[in-house]
Chain A
Amino acid sequence: GNSVTQMEGPVTLSEEAFLTINCTYTATGYPSLFWYVQYPGEGLQLLLKATKADDKGSNKGFEATYRKETTSFHLEKGSVQVSDSAVYFCALTHYGQNFVFGPGTRLSVLP
C-alpha cells in the first residue's frame, strides 16, 4: 500500500540556518504530495503541495519539489525563524483515496 517516510527528528536549528526535512514515499502511479504544519496546540495547516512530477510547491519561504525518479518531496527553507518551530507532516493522496501521513518531524528553532 501507499506509505510516507520522513525523518522524525527532533531537529534543532539556530535562527537563520538552512532547513531540510526529508520525505520519501511509496505509491503506485502519480500521487499528489503535501506538507502540513502543526503549531503547538493547533490543528494541521496546509503549507504547500505538488500534484505532478517536477512541480515545486512553495509558501512562506518553504519549498519542496516533487521528484518522481527518487520518490521524494523534501522540504527546504533557506533561513528559518523562531516562529517556524512546529511539527511538519509529509503526506500523499492518490485518486481520491484517504490521506497517508508521515510520522511528523518536530522542528525547534533557537534564537
Chain B
Amino acid sequence: DVKVTQSSRYLVKRTGEKVFLECVQDMDHENMFWYRQDPGLGLRLIYFSYDVKMKEKGDIPEGYSVSREKKERFSLILESASTNQTSMYLCASRTRVDRNTEAFFGQGTRLTVV
C-alpha cells in the first residue's frame, strides 16, 4: 500500500522558532508538494519539487523554505515561525511519468504557533 508519512500529527511551537516539517514517501515518486489548508481558503501550494535538490515556489512561498536531499524525503522549513502560520500542512507526492496519475497525501500536520 502506497504511503506518504508526515513526521507529526500535531505540533505547537513558539513565535520565532525554526520549525521543520518532514515528509517521506515510499513510492519512488519524482514530484513532492507542500500545501497549507485554512478554512475558507482551500488548499494553497507552498513549494514543490520535481527531483532531488530541485525546488519551485508555489503560490504562497513567503516565510517558508524547503529541502529535498533524498528522493523520498521533502522537508518544509519555517525559518521564523509566526502566528499567521498556524495551519494544517499537507504533504503530497505523485509520479511524473503519466499526466493522469493522482497525488497521494499524508495525514497532515496541524501546526499551532503561539
Question: Which A residues are within 8 Å of any B CB, using their own CB?
Answer: 32, 34, 36, 41-46, 49, 51, 89, 93-96, 98-99, 101-104
Cβ-defined partner of A34 (8 Å) among B33, B40, B102 = B102
Using Cβ atoms and an 8 Å threshold, which residues of chain B touch A93? 99-100
The number of inter-chain residue pairs (CB within 8 angstroms) is 47
Evaluate whether A43 and B42 lie within 8 angstroms (CB atoms) in the complex, with A93-B99, A98-B33 already known: no
| Total chain B interface residues with beta-carbon distance under 8 A | 23
Give A101 to B43 CA distance when docked, in angstroms. 7
Cβ-defined partner of B90 (8 Å) among A44, A49, A98 = A44
Classify the interface of chain A: helix, strand, loop or mixed: loop
Give A44 to B45 CA distance when docked, in angstroms. 14
Q: Is B106 an interface residue (CB 8 A)?
A: yes
Select from chain A the residue with minimum beta-carbon distance to B10.
A41
Evaluate whether A42 and B107 lie within 8 angstroms (CB atoms) in the complex, with A32-B100, A95-B99, A96-B96 already known: yes
Complex contact B108–A42 (CB within 8 A):
yes
